[in-house]
Structure 1
């Protein structure tokens, strides 16, 4: 949420305005408006209609903010949002049904269920790199669960932020769904308020600020952060397919500006030259000999981020390590796909999340050593392995801790709505997508039903030895003991 060189329009939104906003939403929620199935469906359908009606406007905004290629913008933001919304509409009624559960002899006779209920009013703070998808995908979950919601888009993607504010105001129920634009002051004013849930997508530094603010009110938080997502590459692979998929999962994802894009590769010393050659060939096929002129590569989002990525590349410790690319165009905020080989462990590029078009390759003697390298650092949001070796796959799943794992591809696991998407440790708290989005914004309320029959005197004073024996027998499930206690033996 750091302030960038792109400034949003000035807005008069302070602590008083934030308190008034929360009070209004609390009134809407307490009136029960958002809890009905019909309201939830109507809002999800409106969101779907918004996306379909304004596809060109969304693509234009993404082009303005990030120079996203049309196909990438459609597939990674618009199509994924539509898919998420349609999946939720199909499943919502089933998700809302209370879950019947078993009871024990202690409460006999009785019945029990788990009732999903909305948390209340929730705050969604989204990121700039996928500003449409990452803003509205959590909102889908919040609405599906029956909550009132405030969306705070990223000021670093001002065109998309402005469009979201305009369109949600036109298509959604404005008494329950709000958009607040702005930068640090507006976000700070929002974080001062008491929410029933905060959902933040972004970097770990701001995630800590969000968590600290939420702690003052004991507000539950979901943090979708990032980390250095590794790609382990075995020699037992289809080399061309591997190279193409790594490229798609690095430079084809917003030119590396994605939390689950490939951060670095780990492979063996012997295989590294073959992999590099394959990557070079495919990069030229995809982006030409002058990638800075390619319309299929997004630009770096801002001059501040351009300077940050350039600093990683200009580190003295990686001098001479570039084996492909390295070209920069500051005026257009473009950096070419860049591959570096055998960068030192203590270099900046190996200790900071790259979030850009640089791809270091680390070599090892034995591929299993890569597990120790990964586990010695902070747990990543995703980890990837390319291999045909069954034992290596099993060892990877068993030994590597990450938010999610994917074998023989990069990033595609996020498209499966039946899988949770989220981090672990430093890469995040909680998960969402599909049913997991609904659950993220839902309280599972335990309900036990009893009649006035079956009242056991053993639970009431006076507490006799016979009653103690009976309770012990009940708790242990000792049928003979229960009989003995009842008969006074």
Structure 2
């Protein structure tokens, strides 16, 4: 971690970028290769830090934090030369003799503010895009996961010139000071409330932003769903990282005819994953802080507990819990839960579900369990959401071939794979005009100008 004043760190990165140190694609690719090797070298310390901060098992830490990032960097190393190459475009009839191209160029100096729930993955994944696109970057990790933040700082310090990439640790005040600097792009992952503050700060300088936020992501289980499989996949999506996932199912709408069966199969899946006592399972994560634990505890008396409901404040563990008999007026349905509590509502007609979803802010994710292709197409075409799955949860986030991002209050912009490169690039339009000839009718005063123009633009 740097000890220089923030404005000096920024000035050094600005000078580094303006000197052209990040522009050559070979240098970018080599930086990605070096980052890949550093992550592999530090796999164990990273996973240990994640266990200390969030109680993540080695399997969960590798799958959701380390492995997915290695997949991202592998793809960037393979394709960055093609991504960075100017692309020719077609020539319009009105531009005969010219050639048009799109030239990707880096924004310049970028700021990446990452959250606490996936503190390694959500810092490094956007960084891969920033480096591939040819930017410098300052990483500001979450203060709520200090062991992982320290691990990130060491990894970056041992891998990069601080004028290229560096880590600045700290709390909300640090974020405020950093967002006041004239960055060329800000990438933020976190809550909707903080995302609005980041956007306000960026607006003062018209700084472009990528905001990966959250919201209440619905999960719909239709009458024709395979309930046992749906329950297993919902349980995986909801209780990975103890529900502290921005794209976790926030609530379920299940057809009334399958309600009892789904509750039974969810409980069965929890026992299969975490045993009879999830609070003492080595596969189950803890809540990040006392404050977050206490916030979640206030939801426990909303509706009725179908199963779960136990907790341990000392270890900040809260068992997978399903709530029934809930209504939209209850606090648990008024805000994003971001924890291991899962409300279940019933419906008789899908129109009830559709109305409930579209009357509220657009969700970051939506999950639908059905074999009805007509219903599937209706949901995809009529309901707006950031991204999602049919007959699964979370897995759309894990592929670098799909863009990830929100819509409306759930976020602005998208990333992963090539989309990360695009998130950190400006696509510059360039037209190379011929000097072999010149059309006189384009200029004022030329004969028959109006008639010729009308023919060309027909």
Aligned match of 2:21: 33
> How many aligned positions are there?
458
Give secondary structure in 1 for the equivalent of 2:299. helix
Aligned match of 2:260: 273
Shift in Å, 1:156: 0.8
- Rounded to whole Å, the distance in 2 between the matches of 1:282 and 1:175 is 49
Counterpart pick for 1:467 among 433, 449, 454: 449
- Rounded to whole Å, the distance in 2 between the matches of 1:379 and 1:423 is 8
Shift in Å, 1:463: 5.3
Counterpart pick for 1:322 among 295, 298, 305: 305
Deviation readout 1:158-188 (Å, 9 max, x if unpaired): 1111111111011123221111011112111
Shift in Å, 1:133: 0.3
Residues 122-161 of structure 1 mapped to structure 2, 5 A cutoff: 122-161=110-149
Shift in Å, 1:39: 1.1
Shift in Å, 1:376: 1.2
- Rounded to whole Å, the distance in 2 between the matches of 1:450 and 1:269 is 66
Aligned match of 2:94: 106
Counterpart pick for 1:300 among 287, 306, 311: 287
Aligned match of 1:370: 353
Deviates more, 1:82-91 or 1:99-108: 99-108
- Rounded to whole Å, the distance in 2 between the matches of 1:467 and 1:294 is 80
Asked if structure 2 preserves the Cα contact closer than 8 Å seen for 1:397 and 1:405, the reply is: no
Shift in Å, 1:108: 2.1
Does 2:188 correspond to 1:205?
A: no
Asked if structure 1 preserves the Cα contact closer than 8 Å seen for 2:9 and 2:163, the reply is: no
Aligned match of 2:226: 238
- Rounded to whole Å, the distance in 2 between the matches of 1:452 and 1:345 is 67
The structure with the largest alpha-carbon Rg is: 1
Shift in Å, 1:283: 1.4
Residues 345-356 of structure 1 mapped to structure 2, 5 A cutoff: 345-356=328-339
Counterpart pick for 2:342 among 351, 359, 368: 359
Aligned match of 2:244: 257
Asked if structure 2 preserves the Cα contact closer than 8 Å seen for 1:59 and 1:74, the reply is: yes
Does 2:44 correspond to 1:44?
A: no
Residues 432-471 of structure 1 mapped to structure 2, 5 A cutoff: 432-462=415-445, 466-471=448-453
Counterpart pick for 1:190 among 172, 178, 183: 178
Shift in Å, 1:221: 0.3
* Structure 2: gaps spanning 5 or more residues: none
- Rounded to whole Å, the distance in 2 between the matches of 1:132 and 1:404 is 22
Counterpart pick for 2:411 among 428, 432, 452: 428
- Rounded to whole Å, the distance in 1 between the matches of 2:344 and 2:325 is 6
Give secondary structure in 1 for the equivalent of 2:366. strand
Does 2:401 correspond to 1:418?
A: yes
Aligned match of 2:388: 405
Shift in Å, 1:450: 1.2
Asked if structure 2 preserves the Cα contact closer than 8 Å seen for 1:267 and 1:367, the reply is: no
Deviation readout 1:429-477 (Å, 9 max, x if unpaired): 000001100000011110101122221222334355x22222222222x
- Rounded to whole Å, the distance in 2 between the matches of 1:368 and 1:469 is 55
What TM-score do the two structures reach when normalised by structure 1?
0.91
- Structure 1 moving runs of 4+ over 4 Å: none
Q: CA RMSD in A?
A: 1.4
What TM-score do the two structures reach when normalised by structure 2?
0.97
Deviation readout 1:96-142 (Å, 9 max, x if unpaired): 11110112232221111101111111100001000000000000000
Aligned match of 1:165: 153
Shift in Å, 1:269: 2.1
Asked if structure 2 preserves the Cα contact closer than 8 Å seen for 1:142 and 1:438, the reply is: yes
Aligned match of 1:485: none
* Structure 1: gaps spanning 5 or more residues: 1-8, 477-489
Shift in Å, 1:19: 1.7
- Rounded to whole Å, the distance in 2 between the matches of 1:212 and 1:50 is 35
Counterpart pick for 1:62 among 50, 55, 58: 50
Shift in Å, 1:421: 0.2
Counterpart pick for 1:83 among 40, 59, 71: 71
- Rounded to whole Å, the distance in 1 between the matches of 2:381 and 2:271 is 37
